[in-house]
Amino acid sequence: MNQGKIVEYIEAGNIVTTVCLFEDGNKLHLLTPSNREANLSPKRALLISGPALNTHTGRDDLLSRLKAVIERRSRLREQVKVRDIWELVRDEREVFDFKYLAQLCFGEDVTDDHVSAIVRAVFEDKLYFKLKDGAFLPNSETRIELVLREKEEAEQREKALQEGSRWLKRVLEGKAAEGPPCKNGIIDILVELALYREDAPDHKIGKELLARSGINDVSEVRSLLVRLGIWEEDENLDLLRLKVRTGFTKNQLEESEKIAKSPAGYSDREDLREWQVFTIDGPLTRDFDDALSLDIHEDVLQLGIHIADVGSVIPVDSPLDQVAEERGTSLYLTRRQIPMLPPVLSQDALSLKKDEDRPAISLICRLDREGNLLDSRFALTLVRVKSQLNYDEVDTLYKTDERLSELHRLSGIMRRRRIENGAMLLPVPEVYAEFGNEGKVYIRLVSQESPSKLIVSESMIFYNWMAARYCRDHRVPALYRCQAAPSEIVNLDGVDPLYALLKQRGKLSPLEVDVKPRAHSGLGLDFYTNVSSPIRRYFDLIIQRQIINSLLDVAPPYTTDDLDKKRMALEPMLRDLERLKRSRLRYWILKWLLRESKKTVEALVLSGTKTKYRIALTDSLLITELKRQNGQDLQEGQRIVVRVKKVDPWEDILRLEYAGSPEGG
């Protein structure tokens, strides 16, 4: 039946015009314009039209007549204005057969060639009609606008890929190249790809861009961004992923300046400016939020712990309060500090700077020589710091300076009493990344057991403990820091001291924040809160406000429910920031190991499984894994030497191999 007829069908998105040579059951055997034969199911045919061509003539003649049909239909197709046809039927909610549309275009007397021309034009246009079950359905105006927008976006995307890849190729070749108009969009795609890999919103486009630029490994994007000057060599990717704000808006800075320059009203405060108040901090500290004083009167010691009054200066729900809550804490990172409040306040107007009058919330206590508390009170005060000491200076002076010596002795008493109450002192050294003149990173361990660190830590713990008791006793809503007893007390007699510390730390219960006062087992205290760093921590600021209002005998700014809501909102963010700090320190340790590539380092075995050991590198306290080798049997607490096989700070990769025992081990 179909022998000799013109058969048109869709192949790879195009209409193919053929002639049927013969029909065999459910297959049409077709001749294509390129003189090839193809088989087709009749169901796949878009159009089958006649009259039939004579298939018994020579192949060349048949191809010639087929091409003549194609040319005729193509000429007719050029006459078709698809939009004009769509305008005639756009409001109809029905499908239209091919012949009907052909008659709208060419008049009543139409041939198969006219019908084919319509089908070709409408199908190739793909904008105004949709092919459905052998007929055409007009698209709505909304759909057409969407298709046009998508088409425009696709064209812009292709243009960006072409221009962007040419630009990046030149950059990779080390040639000077001015970025194309779409440069910012290209950089955004590269940044998202470097940060989120497969989860990047434009991952496919980014991969295509890299491929056209000659880059097959996504991990190379970071180096490319460094070469482009978008990122620094040691860009902190976690800051970018968490979208941590590192600066302040113009309005926030202007508000800070206004507060900093506001005339101070201190007439209703207890004037302590003649007291010998001093601070103890690190040499690079700029935001001084705590200070101490100690007066010795024969058998009575008057201890003053003075905390910068931020709560009275920064109004609740003000723009600056909101930015402090959004940040939650100041971030102290290697080579970078991101304050919770603008520096004009955190490092100047609110900071307890030497020779400057500053409002404070002071805890004033009288104790006997044995450290027994005789009486205490919190007060709104005005202080003036007389000396700004650093840790090293205090460690040198404390034996000869009477106040420092007595404060050190008193701090020792406070610590012993906490230990008697169950406190677990696990003084693991603090790890610092530092840099030499040549820019190389160095890792340093700093003991937390120096006399100066003892004085500061015990004084702040005492202040926070007394603040928690004050809130409990005066029924002031507060947030308490709590910790249940350890899951296990490890018997560590006779083992490596560092192993003992790390092993027991692994058995501690997690710290919690609660609106109900509960014990803090790690500190050996019945109650505990954090209020000693209101410049640096938002939790401390809101508890300070609670105490200020109580001292003024007015209602607290936050109810228990308010505090609980703030706790639930802030805790996840603070956990993220804590992970960020650990991750960043780990990056610098890996950077240091990369510099020392192939060297051996000492490690401590913490635990083991059938396939690996968990170890700590003793000179950086980095916890990592060591693959177990055949026949290897290392013991917990054993010191070993490992060799660095591969390290990549960018990819957070560290591979080690066992290299033996330490010398003399």
Contact between 543 and 570 under an 8 Å Cβ cutoff? The reply is no
Contact between 540 and 532 under an 8 Å Cβ cutoff? The reply is yes
Please tell me whether residue 311 adopts helix, strand or coil conformation. Answer: coil
pLDDT tens for each residue of 369-415? 999 999 999 999 999 999 999 999 999 999 999 999 999 999 999 99
**What is the pLDDT, as a whole number, of residue 284?**
87
**What is the pLDDT, as a whole number, of residue 664?**
57
553: number of Cβ within 10 Å: 6
- Say whether pLDDT at 665 is over 60: no
- Say whether pLDDT at 469 is over 70: yes
* Pairing state between β 622-627 and 612-617: antiparallel
Burial of 332 (0-12, 13-18, 19+ CB in 10 A): middle
Sign of CA dihedral 551, 554, 558, 560: positive
Give the integer Cα–Cα distance in Å for 665 and 660.
Answer: 10
**What is the pLDDT, as a whole number, of residue 291?**
98
Inter-axis angle of helices 59-77 and 112-125, to 10 degrees? 60
Please report which helix (H) or strand (E) contains residue 521, including its range: none
- Say whether pLDDT at 164 is over 80: yes
Give the integer Cα–Cα distance in Å for 561 and 553.
Answer: 21
Backbone phi, psi, residue 426, to 5°: -125, 75
**What is the pLDDT, as a whole number, of residue 596?**
66
pLDDT tens for each residue of 228-284? 999 999 999 999 999 999 999 999 999 999 999 987 778 889 999 999 999 999 998
**What is the pLDDT, as a whole number, of residue 246?**
92
Inter-axis angle of helices 98-106 and 112-125, to 10 degrees? 100
Taking Cα atoms as reference points, which of 104, 76, 96, 78 lies closest to residue 139? 96
Contact between 403 and 508 under an 8 Å Cβ cutoff? The reply is no
pLDDT tens for each residue of 473-505? 999 999 999 999 998 888 777 788 899 889 898
pLDDT tens for each residue of 49-103? 878 899 888 899 999 999 999 999 999 999 999 999 999 998 887 899 999 999 9
**What is the pLDDT, as a whole number, of residue 490?**
81
**What is the pLDDT, as a whole number, of residue 219?**
87
Question: In percent, how much of the chain has pLDDT > 90?
Answer: 79
Provide the phi-psi class of 78: left if phi over 0, else alpha when psi is between -120 and 50, else beta.
alpha
For the residues 176-180, what does the mean pLDDT come to?
84
Residue 597: which pLDDT band, with cuts at 50, 70 and 90?
low
* Pairing state between β 135-138 and 45-49: unpaired
Contact between 388 and 279 under an 8 Å Cβ cutoff? The reply is yes
